[in-house]
């Protein structure tokens, strides 16, 4: 018998994980089942039409791998018409859809140690899409927040509005028969998403809307299995984060900064906006992203500042195996397109490209956009911590406010509930760079003083706020597992028992 601690932002994800572990599934099976269920229950924040970044630790060998399944722009991409229309990528629409990476990411995670066939991990999600899931408070808020986008798209309207054309309310059953059929098809062979009937339907629907993605773009997608970034602090803790095009370096840059965290976060934010891109498409200044180079970035072109919607699943078992997984549609309901033929909500990850050809994250044929997804792992003697969060561009500073304390915090849920701060501008619906404080944020007076020195405006929320992130964490400490889910989300955490040990 093995115990698995798992956290996710919706109870349906935990129930899906419970079902597969009862059938003998292990840590990775549990994480995959939870991730798949979230694409059904949380369509405003993730979808099989989005991307995935994950970190996976092999407890037996102490090794960590990064899985980056971030899709690329079309090979036929031509930035000129978009540059002629404005200085930024559009926030949504067909030109912001890159090849979705989630499904290939699931397959790569399964290859790294799943005990059960991928079809078994998808089964709870299929049942959930077919039978329906109650609309959560988070989903209802998102529908109201982006109601104009929902009404403008036939697929989203059919999915999220009632017969009278009004938004589905909390507790209403959300039925997704087309998505259930698509997931069933993928359970036969996940490659159908990239080379089979699912791919053909998605490509046809996208091209009808003006997208340049074609069958070859989908067929060419591969999940990247690579070495993560890491740093070891003086107390013997090693931190692991995903490499570019993920913003994982920004998290490593702000860890351990103590009272200087806000200063480091602002420096890391500016560096990321100026330096992050796809290493497959050109050079990326990793030392600059890690704030090691002392590079003057004031003269460099800045990247876009879009919002972000994301889910994190974290899991750790009593053998020290761990998964920190994040998948996303990038902003609520992504591109604002739900493909009726497949039931797939398509992400807007391409809106993170820069239209400045000198920028490392410039829109180029076949390039992957700069990525906000930022899962993390920490290892130390007798301890393994997995963590991740929703929070768009602010994920690095959100995680930095809880990461180090999570190594030894006696009550991780109370730590996640503690008020936090974030910085941003358009991603926080603010016209200027702003420090946003939840009520009761520790050291608020000091932070306000520092913000003034940095030229940041200061704003306060009325209470706990989605912009402060939905952190999920799972831990192994002194041989015992535990987990916690951020109270800002609709989620929960659990300790599961797998019947069969590897």
Is 473 annotated in the active site?
no
Residue 458 lies in a domain: no
- How does pLDDT run across 441-498, given as a tens digit for each residue? 999 999 999 999 999 999 999 999 888 989 999 999 999 999 999 999 888 999 999 8
Contacts of 127 (CB under 8 A, 6+ apart): none
Q: What is the CATH number of the domain that holds 56?
A: 3.60.20.40
The structural domain count of the chain equals 1
Rounded Cα–Cα distance for residues 332 and 156 (Å) = 12
| Residue 81 forms part of a structural domain | yes
SS3 annotation, 144-157: HHCHHHHHHCHHHH
Answer whether residue 382 is part of any domain.
yes
Give 395-463 as a DSSP string.
HHHHHHTTHHHHTT-S-HHHHHHS--EEEESGGGT-SS-EEEE-TT-TTHHHHHHHHHHHT-EEEE-SS
- The confidence score (pLDDT) of residue 295 equals 60
Does 437 fall in a domain? no
Structural domain range at position 101: 2-230+302-420+469-498
As a whole number of angstroms, the distance between CA 49 and CA 46 comes to 8
Q: Is 275 helix (H, G, I), strand (E, B) or coil?
A: helix
Residue 496's φ and ψ, nearest 5 degrees, are: -105, 155
Q: Does 390 fall in a domain?
A: yes
Cα–Cα distance for residue pair 223/211, rounded to 1 Å: 22
In whole angstroms, what is the distance from residue 434 CA to residue 438 CA? 13
Per annotation, catalytic residue among 39, 96, 310, 372: 310
Contact 308, 372 (CB under 8 A): yes
pLDDT of residue 304: 46
Tens digits of pLDDT across the chain (502 residues):
789 999 999 999 999 999 999 999 999 999 999 999 999 999 999 999 999 999 999 999 999 999 999 999 999 999 999 999 988 999 999 999 999 999 999 999 999 999 999 999 999 999 999 999 999 999 999 999 999 999 999 999 999 999 999 999 999 999 999 999 999 999 999 999 999 999 999 999 999 999 999 999 999 999 999 999 999 987 889 999 999 999 999 999 999 898 899 999 999 999 999 999 999 998 899 999 999 976 655 544 444 444 445 799 999 999 999 999 999 999 899 999 999 999 999 999 999 999 999 999 999 999 999 999 999 999 999 999 999 998 888 999 999 999 999 999 999 999 999 999 999 887 788 889 999 999 999 999 999 999 999 999 999 999 998 889 899 999 999 999 999 999 998 889 999 998 754 4
Secondary structure of residue 364 in the 3-state scheme: coil
Count other C-beta atoms under 10 Å from residue 497's C-beta: 11
Tell me how far apart the alpha carbons of residues 456 and 52 are, in angstroms, rounded to a whole number: 32
Residue 10 belongs to a domain: yes
């Amino acid at each position: 018998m093995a115990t698995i601690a798992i956290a996710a932002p919706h109870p349906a994800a935990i129930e899906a994980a419970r079902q597969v572990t009862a059938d003998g599934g292990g840590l990775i099976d549990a994480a995959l089942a939870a991730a798949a269920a979230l694409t059904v229950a949380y369509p405003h924040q993730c979808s099989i039409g989005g991307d995935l970044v994950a970190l996976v630790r092999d407890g037996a060998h102490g090794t960590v791998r990064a899985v980056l399944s971030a899709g690329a722009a079309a090979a036929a991409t031509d930035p000129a018409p978009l540059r002629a229309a404005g200085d930024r990528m559009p926030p949504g629409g067909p030109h912001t859809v890159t090849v979705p990476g989630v499904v290939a990411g699931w397959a790569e995670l399964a290859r790294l140690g799943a005990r059960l066939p991928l079809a078994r991990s998808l089964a709870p999600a299929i049942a959930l899409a077919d039978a329906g899931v109650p609309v959560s408070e988070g989903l209802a808020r998102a529908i109201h927040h982006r109601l104009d986008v929902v009404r403008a798209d036939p697929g989203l309207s059919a999915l999220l509005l009632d017969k009278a054309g009004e938004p589905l309310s909390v507790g209403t059953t959300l039925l997704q028969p087309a998505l259930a059929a698509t997931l069933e098809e993928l359970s036969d062979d996940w490659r159908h998403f990239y080379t089979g009937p699912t791919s053909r339907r998605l490509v046809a629907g996208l091209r009808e809307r003006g997208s340049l993605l074609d069958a070859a773009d989908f067929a060419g997608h591969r999940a990247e299995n690579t070495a993560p970034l890491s740093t070891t602090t003086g107390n013997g803790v090693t931190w692991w984060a995903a490499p570019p095009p993920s913003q994982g370096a920004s998290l490593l840059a702000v860890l351990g900064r103590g009272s200087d965290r806000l200063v480091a976060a602002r420096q890391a934010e500016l560096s990321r906006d100026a330096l992050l891109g796809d290493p497959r498409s050109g050079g990326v200044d990793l030392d600059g992203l890690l704030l090691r180079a002392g590079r003057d970035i004031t003269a460099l072109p800045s990247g876009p500042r879009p919002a972000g919607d994301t889910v994190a699943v974290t899991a750790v078992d009593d053998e020290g195996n761990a998964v920190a997984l994040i998948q996303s549609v990038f902003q609520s309901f992504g591109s604002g397109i739900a493909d009726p033929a497949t039931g797939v909500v398509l992400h807007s990850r391409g809106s993170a490209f820069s239209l400045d050809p000198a920028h490392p994250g410039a829109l180029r044929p076949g390039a992957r956009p700069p990525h906000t997804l930022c899962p993390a792992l920490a290892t130390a003697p007798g301890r393994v911590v997995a963590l991740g969060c929703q929070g768009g561009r602010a994920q690095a500073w959100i995680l930095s406010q809880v990461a180090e304390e999570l190594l030894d915090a006696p009550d991780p849920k109370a730590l996640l509930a503690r008020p936090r701060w974030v910085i941003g501008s358009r991603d926080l619906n603010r016209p200027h760079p702003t420090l946003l404080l939840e009520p009761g944020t520790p050291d608020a007076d000091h932070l306000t003083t520092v913000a003034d020195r940095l030229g940041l405006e200061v704003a306060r929320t009325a209470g706990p706020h989605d912009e402060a992130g939905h952190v999920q964490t799972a831990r192994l400490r002194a041989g015992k597992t535990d987990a916690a889910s951020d109270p800002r989300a609709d989620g929960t955490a659990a300790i599961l028992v797998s019947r069969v040990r590897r």
